Structure 1
Amino acid sequence: MFHKVWLQDMEEQLNELKANYPNSTVTERAKWQKRFLELKQASHLLLESWAKIEDKMAAISTEFPEIANDEEIEIEEEFWLHESVVRQFRQGQGYYGLTMFREAEGFFADVVEEEPDFLLGRLYLGLSQFQRKDWDPAIHHFQLVAITATQAPFLAFAHHMIGCIRVNQKNEQAAIKAFVQAIEHDKENADAWFNLGASYYRLQQYHDAIPAFYHALALNEHDWEAMYYLSSCYRHHKEWNSVTYWRLASLEKTNHPQVMLSLAHDYEEMGQSDQAIIWYRKLLGHPEHKRAAYHGLAWNYWTQKNAKEADLWVKKGLTLYPNDPDLLFTFMWIKLSEGNTKRAEKAYDTLPEKVKNEPIWQAMKMRISTRAGKFDEVSNMARDLIDQEKPMAQAMGYYHQGRSMLETGKIPEAIEHFQLARRKAIKWKEPLFYEGVCHLLEGRPESTLACWEQLNLT
Structure 2
Amino acid sequence: MKIEEWFQTLKNKAELIESKWAGATEQERIQLADQLFYLRQVSDTVVDLWLQFEERLSNAIRRIKQMEGQLPSEGNQVQAAATQENAAKHAKPPEADGEDTISQKETVPYEPMFRRGEGFYHLRMYQDAKKCFAELIRESPDWESGRLYYAYSLLFCEERESAFREFRLLSRSASSPAVMAISYNAIGCILAEEEQWLEAAQAFKASLEARPDQEEARYNLALCYLKDGDAQEALEEAERCLLKDESDWEAQMLWLRAAQMLQAMDETAELAPPSPLQLPTRDLGTDTLQEMASLYESVGNYHRAQICYHFLAERLPREGWTWHGLAWNTWLISGTRRALTLMKKAISLAPHEDDFTFSYGWMQLFDGKAEQAVAAFRKMLENNRDNRLGQSGMISAYEKLGELQAAKKLAKEFTEDPEPYIRSLGYFHLGRLAVVEENWRLAEQYFQRTLPHANLIREVPIYMQLCASKLGEQNRQSGQLQPSLQLQAGNPPVVAEE
TM-score over 0.5 for the pair: yes
Following the alignment from structure 1 to structure 2, what is the Cα–Cα distance between the partners of residues 17 and 347?
Answer: 50
In structure 1, give the amino acid aligned to 2:208.
Answer: I
Residues 1:26 and 2:26 are matched in the alignment: no
Q: Which runs of 5+ in 2 are unaligned?
A: 23-31, 60-72, 88-105, 477-481, 483-498
The 8 Å contact of residues 170 and 179 in structure 2, kept in 1 or not, is answered as yes
Q: Deviations over 1:292-318 (max 9, x none)?
A: 221112212322352223222222111
1:321-367 Cα distance to aligned partner (Å, 9 max, x none) = 011232122123224433125313322224457xx46x656644544
Contact 1:145 1:158 in 2 (8 A): yes
Candidates 345, 352, 355, aligned match of 2:377: 345
Could you tell me which of 69, 72, 77 is aligned with 1:70? 77
Residue 140 (structure 2) pairs with residue 121 (structure 1)? no
Change (3 A) 1:122 1:334: same
| Aligned pairs (5 A) from 1:337-376 | 337=366, 338-340=369-371, 341-352=373-384, 356=386, 360=389, 363-364=392-393, 366-367=395-396, 373-375=405-407
Distance 2:152 2:470 in 1: 70
Query: Does structure 2 retain, via aligned residues, the 8 Å contact 1:176–1:200?
Result: yes
Match of 2:114 in 1: 89
* Distance across 1 between alignment mates of 2:437 and 2:239: 57
Pick closer, same or farther for the CA change 1:221–1:244 going to 2, 3 Å: closer
1:144/1:335 CA distance change after superposition, 3 Å:
same
CA distance in 2, matches of 1:32, 1:297: 49
Give the Cα separation in 1 of the matches to 2:174 and 2:225. 28
2:123 alignment counterpart? 98
SS in 1 for 2:300: coil
Correspondence for 2:414: 382
Amino acid at match of 2:77: D
Aligned residue type for 1:418: F
- Alpha-carbon distance change, 15 to 36 in structure 1, aligned in 2, over 3 angstroms: farther
Once the two structures are overlaid, the 10-residue window that deviates more, 436-445 or 322-331, is 436-445
Q: Give secondary structure in 2 for the equivalent of 1:180.
A: helix
Q: How many residues align?
A: 424
Aligned-pair identity (%): 21
| AA in 2 matched with 1:26 | S
Name the residue aligned to 1:312.
Answer: 341
User: What secondary structure does 2:146 align onto?
Assistant: helix
> After the TM superposition, which of the residue ranges 324-333 and 235-244 deviates more from structure 2?
235-244
Aligned mates of 1:282, 1:185 — CA distance in 2: 42
Shift of 1:42: 0.6
CA contact (8 A) 1:369 1:378 kept: no
Q: Where do residues 106-255 of structure 1 align in structure 2 (5 Å cutoff)?
A: 106-220=131-245, 223-235=248-260, 236-237=262-263, 242-243=272-273, 245-248=275-278, 255=284
Q: Normalized against structure 2, the TM-score is what?
A: 0.69
The Cα shift of 1:411 comes to 5.3
Q: Name the SS for the 2:314 alignment partner.
A: coil
Q: What is the correspondence of 1:279-294 to structure 2 with a 5 Å cutoff?
A: 279-287=308-316, 290-294=319-323
Distance 1:221 1:429 in 2: 34
Moved more, 201-210 or 73-82: 73-82
Q: Which residue of 2 aligns with 1:257?
A: 286
2:229, 2:13 → 1: CA distance? 39
Mapped to 2, the partners of 1:246 and 1:19 lie a distance apart of 41
CA contact (8 A) 2:430 2:446 kept: yes
Instruction: Report the CA distance shift for 1:135/1:417 in structure 2 as closer, same or farther (over 3 A).
Output: same
Q: 1:430 aligns to what?
A: 459
Q: Which runs of 5+ in 1 are unaligned?
A: 1-7, 56-65, 451-458
Distance 1:157 1:325, change over 3 A: same
Answer whether contact 1:72 1:82 (CA < 8 A) is retained: no
Structure 2 vs 1, CA of residues 251 and 418 (structure 1 numbering), >3 Å: closer, same or farther?
same
**Aligned-residue CA RMSD in angstroms?**
4.5
Q: Taking structure 1 as reference, are residues 40 and 361 closer, same or farther at Cα in structure 2, changes over 3 Å only?
A: farther
Pick which of 304-313 and 285-294 moved more. Answer: 285-294
Contact 2:114 2:136 in 1 (8 A): yes
- Shift of the 16–167 alpha-carbon distance from structure 1 to 2, 3 Å rule, reads farther
Could you say if the C-alpha distance between residues 146 and 289 of structure 1 is closer, same or farther in structure 2, counting changes exceeding 3 Å? farther
Q: What SS does the corresponding residue of 1:242 show, helix, strand or coil?
A: coil
Residues of 2 paired with 1:87 and 1:272: CA distance? 60
Q: TM-score, normalised by structure 1?
A: 0.75
Cα distance in 1, alignment partners of residues 202 and 41 from structure 2: 43
Indicate conservation of the 8 Å contact 2:85/2:142, yes or no. Answer: no
1:296 aligns with 2:325: yes
Structure 2 residue aligned with 1:398? 427
Query: Which is richer in helix?
Result: 1
Q: Which has the higher contact order (CA 8 A, sep 6+)?
A: 2
Equivalent in the alignment of 1:277: 306
Q: 1:439 to 1:163 in 2, by over 3 A?
A: closer
